Structure 1
Amino acid sequence: MAHLSRKSGGVFEAVAGLAPALHARPGVEVGVYGLDHPALDRDRLSERDVPARAFAVSGPAAFGYAPELGRALRASPPDLMHVHGLWMYPSVAGMSWSGRRMPYVVTPHGMLDPWALAHRRWKKQLAGLAFERRHLRGAACLHALCASERVAIRAAGLVNPVCVIPNGVDLAREDRGSEPPPWRRQVPEQARILLFLGRLAPQKGIPDLLRGLVSARAEVSSGASQREWHLVIAGWGEDGYRDELQRLVGELELRDAVHFVGPQFGDAKARSFAVAEAFVLPSVSEGLPIAVLEAWAARLPVVMTSRCNLESGFEHGAALRIEPEPGNIAVGLRQLFALSDDERRAIGARGAELVAQRFSWSGAARDMEAVYRWVLGRGERPDTVDLS
């Protein structure tokens, strides 16, 4: 993978969940190689006995050239390699390792979706010409997180086998902690909390959420029993983008109702879910967001777009559907605000049931191991693999 850090967002969360679950399966040994980062975090892996190595980057961090990574891969004895993410040096290192005719699997993590390809298009076109197209075409199997990502992979012109296996969630996180997070003191005691937790990036749709919140709050009744909703934005990203969001909050006169509380990891994340009444993700592009699964595991109702690729959440009655534009987001928020406490709890309970049934890391590891064995010629083609 790229940076071995929680700052890598959903890619790191996916690796930190899948690798230990695979490592726990009989006859499977897993190691994680990644790029060094100022916020390096190997604890999630090492505490579950998964060896993890981080290699120093030379040159621009956006590409992540790490010559020692390539050398370490070529000197290592794996049967198979699984590459998470695109557009960076790990793709090049993976192809070099595979020069020995060893197979590899690639998970794009939504990076081939149309919006993602259009964002900073010229850089991705250059990377595609230089190495990424060759890397993707050489994969023994591509891993889609959902059916719509499989469609995007095919639309990108790739004809490799594709397996569809969703992300999971650590069900232990359903224990939501007892102490409130430190940021809770920033929010009025009686406020209801709508939580956004994730990377602060354009694809997350936060500006549209803020504009939708203005409209939704303007129409909420001010009866004596109505507590005011506050939006808590827990995340990390480029300082410049966070500054843009904070300026927009000021322009929309939302400073009293929107709180930027910084990244929340580990126990702080569990506490943040524990004090929230609902979770929102207004993304315009996603692979399959682990944050939504974590919110469901914490028994929270979710407000999300169809671009989150979790249609089962709507089918199961665990989420309210919104589209990534202010007017529609406002409609969804008004629906949420009008729910009774019992109705919100019922939606959250259905989310917890859904996660337990369909989104465990142990199930993802079982299915992924079957793909690995098929790629290596040690098993039949699993039902998760599509050849068309």
Structure 2
Amino acid sequence: MVTASVSRNAGGIFHSVRSLSRELAGSCQVEVVSLRDAFSAADAGVWRPLVPELFERVGPRQWGYSPGLKARIGRNGASVVHACGIWMYPTHAAADACRRKGIPLVISPRGMLDPWALRNSAWKKRLAGRLYENRNLRSAACVHALCESEYESIRAYGLTNPVAIIPNGIDLPADGPKPPPPWTDKVASGRKVTLFLGRIHPKKGLPNLIEAWGRLKAQNATVADEWALVVAGWDQGGHEDQLKTMVSEKGLGGDVLFLGPAFDDAKAACLQNADAFILPSFSEGLPMSVLEAWSYSLPVVMTSECNIPEGFGAAAAIEIRPQADSIADGVKRLLSMPDAERRQMGANGRDLVAAKFAWPRIAAQMIDVYKWVLGQGPQPACVRLD
């Protein structure tokens, strides 16, 4: 398994690649190769029993060039190489090694070929595609899509490789005592909480969420005063400061709380104590945060760009568009529901992840793909050739 980061720096990819690797390790030998970063040592323990091999970067951080990583992949005795994420050097090194040694390569773009993602720093990605990434992608024995929408994006990009559609998975939390909410001293007792949990990045649609929250408060102060919006996550590129300025200008300082990063026990405490979850993203692969929210039986408000249409079909989520008007309508519907109806939405979400997104089921499908690209098994039902 090759990935650019094995720490929280990778956002949701960190959780999904780690959990998939650990589950696969129950059925085959798994070696994880990655780059060292500021949090890789702190997060190493959550990979156990796996021990990722980490290598230093040389040159620009965003590219992730690492002679040590290249040498390690070059002497890899793996039967299959699975690279997670694109555009950075680790996947390029993996593709180069696989071409030279005749090893089947599986690439998981993880939403990075979706239209919104391609428009972000578009000229850099067009150049990278021409220089190396298009060749790397075309050389893959199979490309892994998280959902139907990502499959369509892969085909729209011009790739004709076989594509395996396998979603992310989730571990259902064990029952236990509920810890105190991380916002105890900041949100009045009895006030309900709508939670955003994830990377604070423009693609998450948070400015439109704040705009929508302000409109709701102006339209119905009583309902809005019964709820608070808690934003928990790590800042990327100073976006959080922009959002805080927006909250201040709109007079929402008592309604919108920025909690900062929340990992491990702190993240679990957020999910256990929230009353609802929202993700108004412009673009996602298949967000772990929504699966986690459902695993804690939270009702969800999300855009169709989150690529989990099953949630709408299962009555576990309210569908919105990533614009302020639509977000306001969706949140108003959620806040106006009877408590029992919201609880049923959350229960529907937990049933959905238990049935479709459990890691043993996901890992079994991935093993079938590995066997197929090795010529050791039939074409799996999740693989499309068209």
Regarding TM over 0.5, the answer is yes
Distance (whole Å) between structure 1 residues aligned to residue 89 and residue 116 of structure 2: 22
How far off its partner does 1:95 sit?
1.8
Q: Deviations over 1:256-277 (max 9, x none)?
A: 1111111111111111001100
Distance (whole Å) between structure 2 residues aligned to residue 291 and residue 362 of structure 1: 19
Amino acid at match of 1:9: G
Distance (whole Å) between structure 2 residues aligned to residue 370 and residue 102 of structure 1: 17
Q: 1:43 aligns with which of 42, 45, 48?
A: 45
After TM superposition, the structure 1 = structure 2 runs for residues 255-334 of structure 1, keeping only pairs within 5 Å, are 255-334=253-332
Q: Is the 8 A contact 1:283 1:307 kept in 2?
A: yes
Gaps of 5+ in 1: none
Partner of 1:246: 244
Amino acid at match of 1:6: R
Q: Secondary structure at the match of 1:236?
A: coil
* Aligned length, in residue pairs: 381
Residue 92, structure 1, aligned to residue 108, structure 2? no
Partner of 2:344: 346
Q: Secondary structure at the match of 1:238?
A: coil
Distance (whole Å) between structure 2 residues aligned to residue 221 and residue 296 of structure 1: 28
Misfit runs of 4+, over 4 Å: none
Give the superposed CA RMSD.
1.3
Q: 2:20 aligns with which of 18, 21, 30?
A: 18
Residue 178, structure 1, aligned to residue 178, structure 2? yes
How far off its partner does 1:55 sit?
1.0
How far off its partner does 1:96 sit?
2.3
- Given the superposition, is the C-alpha separation of residues 135 and 279 from structure 1 closer, same or farther in structure 2, using an over 3 Å criterion? same
Q: Is the 8 A contact 2:116 2:282 kept in 1?
A: yes
Amino acid at match of 1:70: K
Amino acid at match of 1:349: A
Partner of 2:107: 106
Partner of 2:189: 189
Q: Is the 8 A contact 1:175 1:270 kept in 2?
A: no
After TM superposition, the structure 1 = structure 2 runs for residues 135-284 of structure 1, keeping only pairs within 5 Å, are 135-171=136-172, 173-175=173-175, 177-220=177-220, 222=222, 228-284=226-282
Distance (whole Å) between structure 2 residues aligned to residue 207 and residue 156 of structure 1: 29
Gaps of 5+ in 2: none
How far off its partner does 1:190 sit?
2.2
Q: Deviations over 1:205-229 (max 9, x none)?
A: 0011111111122233628xx8621
Distance (whole Å) between structure 2 residues aligned to residue 288 and residue 238 of structure 1: 20
Distance (whole Å) between structure 2 residues aligned to residue 322 and residue 188 of structure 1: 28
Partner of 2:79: 79
Q: Is the 8 A contact 1:176 1:271 kept in 2?
A: no
How far off its partner does 1:239 sit?
4.7
Partner of 2:135: 134
Distance (whole Å) between structure 2 residues aligned to residue 110 and residue 174 of structure 1: 30
Residue 370, structure 1, aligned to residue 368, structure 2? yes
Bigger Cα displacement from structure 2, 91-100 vs 286-295: 91-100
Q: Secondary structure at the match of 1:292?
A: helix
Q: Secondary structure at the match of 1:183?
A: coil
User: TM-score under structure 2 normalisation?
Assistant: 0.96
Q: Deviations over 1:147-186 (max 9, x none)?
A: 1110000000000000000000011x25465212433322
